[in-house]
């Protein structure tokens, strides 16, 4: 899978540097942004960031920078934000059920059973490959087309070649809150590139352990990673055409 950053090319990058907002870093580090009552703000900040990227791609660099300035202002003072929904009780019910009212892939019920549904694509078969902004923030669904959550982060380049997507699950789409860690090789994507799909069912997702920390310390915890990855290996063995790298090894103390 080809993976590259889309923000570092051309002189316009210096005019409207989207990465300078450090939004995901702020979400991870700010206790205030991680409060449940600010989940709407976090969602809206990510929407604004996506809008800034669209403006940048169309050459509207001044407009892009104005949006980024608003993002920085809201990050610095989250109390300035006001909820914009008219039916917050219904939104809370949807979030608590893990079924958002709106997401990039479309309806809550999914469309994999539609007569015109096209086959899913293995990530290794994509051409061209995915940009980072096409992964982070995308919805993730189970093999039976139930909403699981959305991609909050991507971990690339572990020494044993196991790359991961951190998927915020459980309804509250805030990084580190009820997140699971999914090996990228166990994901597929629809041809519209709007939704990722696990190769396991919604029932099997319940067996996947929650991410134990927000600082990615679990990357060095080989025992935890081996347990996590084994769940996917057991359910869907060897999904990769070009060979499976060695599984993380559990260290044992010498006797």
204-232 tens-digit pLDDT: 888 888 888 877 888 889 899 989 988 88
CA distance 232 to 182: 8
Are 146 and 64 within one domain?
no
Task: Answer with the one of 60, 84, 108 that is the final residue of a domain.
Answer: 84
32 vs 20, residue with greater confidence = 32
Domain hosting residue 135, numbered range: 121-235
- In tens, the pLDDT along 61-72 reads 888 888 988 888
CA distance 175 to 55: 25
% of the chain beyond a pLDDT of 70: 67
- In tens, the pLDDT along 186-197 reads 889 988 888 899
Average pLDDT score, the chain: 73
pLDDT over 60 (residue 106): no
Q: Is residue 29 part of a domain?
A: yes
Q: Is residue 175 part of a domain?
A: yes
Q: Is residue 76 part of a domain?
A: yes
How much is the pLDDT for 249? Answer: 53
Measuring CA to CA, which residue among 44, 53, 45 is closest to residue 19?
53
Two tokens at 130? Answer: 């995915």
Q: Is residue 167 part of a domain?
A: yes
Give the relative orientation of helices 61-76 and 39-57 as an angle to the nearest 10 degrees: 160
Are 73 and 135 within one domain?
no
CB atoms within 10 A of CB 174: 20
How much is the pLDDT for 181? Answer: 92
CATH of the domain at 195: 2.30.30.240
pLDDT band at residue 101 using 50, 70 and 90 as cut-offs:
very low
Are 62 and 157 within one domain?
no
Looking at the structure of the chain, the number of domains it has is 2
pLDDT over 60 (residue 178): yes
Cβ–Cβ under 8 Å, residues 152 and 175? yes
pLDDT over 80 (residue 242): no
Q: Is residue 94 part of a domain?
A: no
Is the sign of the CA dihedral 155, 202, 142, 178 positive or negative? negative
- In tens, the pLDDT along 35-54 reads 877 878 888 888 888 888 88
Q: Is residue 55 part of a domain?
A: yes
Are 127 and 226 within one domain?
yes
Within 10-155, residue ranges assigned H as helices are 12-15, 23-29, 39-57, 61-76, 88-96, 132-135
Are 128 and 220 within one domain?
yes
Are 126 and 226 within one domain?
yes
pLDDT band at residue 180 using 50, 70 and 90 as cut-offs:
very high
Q: Give every CB contact of residue 4 below 8 A, 6+ residues apart in sequence.
A: 129, 131, 132
CA of 13: how far to CAs of 19, 64, 78, in Å?
Answer: 10, 11, 27
- In tens, the pLDDT along 112-161 reads 666 667 888 887 777 777 887 788 878 888 888 888 888 888 888 777 66
Two tokens at 250? Answer: 């559990």
How much is the pLDDT for 81? Answer: 59
Q: Is residue 194 part of a domain?
A: yes
């Amino acid at each position: 899978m080809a993976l590259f950053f889309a923000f570092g090319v051309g002189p316009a990058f210096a005019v409207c540097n989207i990465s300078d907002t450090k939004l995901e870093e702020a979400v991870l580090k700010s206790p205030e942004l991680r409060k449940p009552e600010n989940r709407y703000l976090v969602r809206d900040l990510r929407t604004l960031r996506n809008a800034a990227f669209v403006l940048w791609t169309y050459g509207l660099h001044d407009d892009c920078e104005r949006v980024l300035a608003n993002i920085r202002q809201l990050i610095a003072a989250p109390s300035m934000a006001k909820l914009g929904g008219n039916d917050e009780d219904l939104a809370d019910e949807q979030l608590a059920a893990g079924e958002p009212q709106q997401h990039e892939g479309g309806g809550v019920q999914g469309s994999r059973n539609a007569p015109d549904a096209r086959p899913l694509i293995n990530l290794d078969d994509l051409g061209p490959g995915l940009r980072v902004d096409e992964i982070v923030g995308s919805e993730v669904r189970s093999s039976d087309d139930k909403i699981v959550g959305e991609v909050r982060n991507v971990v690339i380049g572990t020494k044993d070649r196991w790359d991961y997507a951190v998927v915020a699950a459980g309804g509250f789409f805030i990084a580190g809150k009820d997140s699971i860690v999914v090996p990228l090789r166990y994901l597929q994507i629809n041809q519209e590139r709007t939704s990722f799909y696990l190769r396991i069912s919604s029932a099997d997702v319940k067996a996947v352990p929650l991410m134990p920390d927000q600082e990615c310390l679990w990357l060095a915890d080989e025992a935890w990673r081996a347990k996590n990855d084994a769940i996917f290996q057991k359910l869907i063995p060897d999904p990769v055409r070009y060979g499976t790298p060695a599984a993380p090894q559990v260290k044992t103390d010498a006797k």
